[in-house]
Chains A and B, each alone.
Chain A
Amino acid sequence: MTNLSNLYRQVIMDHYRNPRNKGITNAPNYVKCHLKNPSCGDMIDVESLVEDGIIKDIHHDGQGCSICCASASIMSEVIKGMKVDDAKYLIDNYLKMVSNQEYDQNVDFDELQVFDGVKDLPARVRCASISSQALLNTLKKEDETDA
């Protein structure tokens, strides 16, 4: 199970079993996005709080496999506190990394780097992407609101 060992590592299991930033507040100053993977039933809510171009807070909740849930938890920790533009750049490259496309190798993914292993399991790309995609959507919605 080599491909699996590259992915199912301690860090993923730790976040899956003890998720950080879990639970949606639905507070009015947060922007929320709900995404679903219709093929497997995984669903996730992500909400973000942006102030002065900085992501002050991220929450997530939902149901899914270990890859889906752990990536939401790790993402929330890695991205909290980042500038919106930096976060968008990181997510964009993260999505490319997990789907085995060319990406900027200089990006520091921190603990999200562990999802590099998803590229060997094409069926699971969506699991590793869904929370980041949802977060990206909240940041884009934030832009629309600002405009």
Chain B
Amino acid sequence: MKELFPVYSKNKDLVYLDSAASSLKPKAVIDAINDYYLNYSVNIERGVYKLALDATKRVEESRENIAKFINANPEEVIFTRGASNSLNMVALMLKRILHEGDEVIVSELEHHSSFLPWLDVKREKNIKLVFVPLTKEGKITVENFKSVLSSKTKAVCLTHVSNVLGYKTDVKEIVKLAHEVGAIVSIDGAQAIPHERVDVKELDVDFYSFSFHKMCGPTGLGILYGKKKILNSLDPVEFGGEMNDEVSKDSVTYKALPYKFETGTIPIAEIFGANATIDFLNEIGMDYIGKRGLELRNMALKELLKLKEIEVYNGSEESSVIAFNIKGVHSHDLVTALAEENVAVRAGHHCAEPLHRFLGLSATTRASFYFYNDECDVSKFIDAVKKTISFFKEVHYID
């Protein structure tokens, strides 16, 4: 599998366990991006010449491919700069229909990109942010969600899979309950969609946001899926070229979906890449991708748990990440030592400070596995952890 990812050819010893931050990119995707720059290079929509028409056609093919991948209609698929951008757009769109005293349900499990846009809306509109009480492990449960859902709830903004602990939210059930009180549900899918088949119709979500760079795709491109009916009822939040229909000195009409939400020149090369990304993932198979990441993670987890110096914060979870530390060692010191052994993992609060406060930890170490990892990565990772423990004992960091 590694031969499909050119970065390995120049970094043969790399043990890459930071895919939850950004996945590696396969050659097929890189080639598709280059295809645009080498063979098209022009803007879409505006031109009437062949190159522009062909490029436009390729962009729409990509949109259709993405729509099919998540079981949406192409007009419900909006190109954005990434999941953060998508989540910000949702907050800005909904801000206009929220009033003082309205409640929006969020959680401490959220990535800052999911939570901070709402903090801003709260300041401006004086709405109330209601936090789903997490279980002591840090999970969102349907029962706990029910305890904060009320007739005042106008929107629900939650993560599908936690970027720190890998906990999965029961989105389908939560959407069902939220819709009973008429609330709109927006889901941050950035950590879910790289590992599982997401069907927006089955989940019945109103909005679903994700980034391509975490699923073997290009950086700088995300998707905001929105239900047609809801998108049609909302106004754009960014203005400029291409999104408008007719402009006068004091008025504007907007294009139809999805274009009214796409301003200026969208990332055309990345959209070419996204088309290849979807083909690539389909070819490997989402079932295999999900299973393989989990299998490798569980292999590593089993070995880590044998080490008495290690503490794991999400051992029970069925996901591809391990949140851990060496007892008494700050995660930054741990990841520096692992980096010396060519093992790439991440330390810190992973853009989820409220969650770390909840857990009473200043920082955690996250090893995230993806289908292109292998057994060799697992054993190198475990060896590096063991070596690090010995080293920190040697220098009297730990006893």
Contacts and interface: CB of A to CB of B under 8 A. Distances in A.
A41 B362 contact: yes
A40 B336 CA distance: 13
A69 to B, nearest CB: 8
Contact of B348 (A1, A3, A41, A68): A41
Nearest to A66: B333
Contacts of A8: 333, 391-392, 395, 397
B340 A16 contact: no
B336 A4 contact: yes
A121 B331 CA distance: 15
Contacts of B58: none
B330 interface: yes
Contacts of B349: 40-41
Tier of interface size on chain B: 20 to 34
Contacts of A41: 348-349, 353, 356, 362-363
A27 interface: no
A127 interface: yes
Nearest to A8: B395
A14 B329 CA distance: 14
A3 B338 CA distance: 12
Interface of A is mostly: helix
B396 A40 contact: no
B15 to A, nearest CB: 15
Contacts of B332: 40, 42, 64-65, 67-68, 124, 127
B387 interface: yes
Interface in B202-247: none
Contacts of A10: 395-396
Contacts of B348: 39-41
Interface string B352-369: 010010000011000000
Most buried by A among B329, B336, B362: B336
B396 A13 contact: yes
Contacts of A5: 391, 395
A67 B333 contact: yes
Contacts of B353: 41
A40 B347 contact: yes
A9 interface: yes
Nearest to A64: B330
A29 interface: no
Given A39-B348, A66-B397, A1 B340 contact: yes
B142 interface: no
B355 to A, nearest CB: 11
Contacts of B387: 1
B340 A3 contact: yes
Nearest to B387: A1
Contacts of A40: 332, 347-349, 363
B330 A65 contact: yes
A65 B337 CA distance: 13
A124 B348 CA distance: 13
A123 interface: yes
A32 to B, nearest CB: 20
Contacts of A127: 332
B340 A123 contact: no
Interface of B: 329-333, 336-337, 339-341, 347-349, 353, 356, 362-363, 387-388, 391-392, 395-397
Interface of A: 1, 3-5, 8-10, 13-14, 16-17, 39-42, 63-68, 121, 123-124, 127
- A-B residue pairs, 5 tightest by C-beta: A65-B332, A65-B330, A40-B348, A41-B349, A63-B362
12 contacts: A1-B337, A1-B387, A3-B340, A8-B333, A13-B397, A14-B396, A17-B396, A41-B353, A41-B356, A42-B362, A65-B331, A66-B330
Given A10-B396, A40-B349, 5 more contacts: A1-B387, A13-B396, A41-B363, A123-B339, A124-B332
